[in-house]
Amino acid sequence: MQMQGKIVTAAALAAGGALLLARQMRSARGPEAASPLEPSVTEVGTRPGRIGAVAALALGGLLLSNQLRKARASGASYSVDESLEVNVPVSTAYNQWTQFAEFPRFMDSVQEVKQLDDTHLHWRASVAGKTKEWDAEITEQIPDQRIAWRSTSGVKNEGVVTFNRIADNKTKIVLHIDCQPETAGEKIGVAVGGVKLTARGNLRRFRDLIEGRGVETGAWRGTITH
């Protein structure tokens, strides 16, 4: 499912939940309190499961509304943290991550990543349903430990991915991202957890890719510090 679809679904569920809860509350006060166009309490019933589900949806609507109010603040930035274990040596996981041109193979919505030189990348991706391009700089790169970056134009984002050895054939990858949504669609995506879901899915697809191959497709072992 594309991000726009997730956003629309979440908004529809929230709105529908609030409407259903309002009807349930009016019906619970008795037939005389209900609108002529709405079913009475005897038609709707008061099963706890149904009321609980509707209440949960309405609460989701309230939480979404609160998130959207926060997202309207200009300059607001958001952080995402995700981690995952992969059954390959730390050097294998790290080496594969240095192959930036192959990111579209496991990063949802990323269309192309061009490595301009050792420290600069050009990205093209679909953001909230629109194609956007931006440049990024690798600010730190330590073999088998971490890679940090920040955007230098376009979509504002920065972050770091770290690689932690758990055993000879097991590595924990920790991904931290700071982003600053610009458009209304991007802010809604953040509010309903779209960035977090995307990051989680990217890590899982990376795990499937590297575990399926068992070896990296390439490596860059240079060190970058600023």
pLDDT tens, residue order, the chain (226 aa) = 444 444 444 444 444 444 444 455 455 555 544 443 344 433 444 455 666 555 555 555 555 555 555 545 545 678 999 999 999 999 999 999 999 999 999 998 899 999 999 999 999 999 878 899 999 999 999 999 999 999 999 989 999 999 999 999 999 999 999 988 877 777 776 666 788 899 999 999 999 999 999 999 999 999 999 7
Cα-based distances in Å from 216 to 98, 163, 203: 10, 15, 16
- Residue 225: inside a domain, yes or no? no
Model pLDDT, residue 101: 96
Residue 203: which domain range? Answer: 78-213
- Residue 221: inside a domain, yes or no? no
In terms of Cα–Cα distance, which of 91, 110, 92 is closest to 101? Answer: 110
- Residue 218: inside a domain, yes or no? no
Q: Are residues 94 and 170 in the same domain?
A: yes
Q: What is the pTM of this model?
A: 0.69
Number of folded domains in the chain? 2
Q: Are residues 35 and 137 in the same domain?
A: no
Place of tokens 């990024």: 136
Cα-based distances in Å from 50 to 17, 18, 24: 11, 13, 10
Residues 6+ apart with CB under 8 A from 48: none
Rounded to the nearest 5 percent, the helix, strand and coil shares of the chain are 45, 30, 25
Q: Are residues 125 and 146 in the same domain?
A: yes
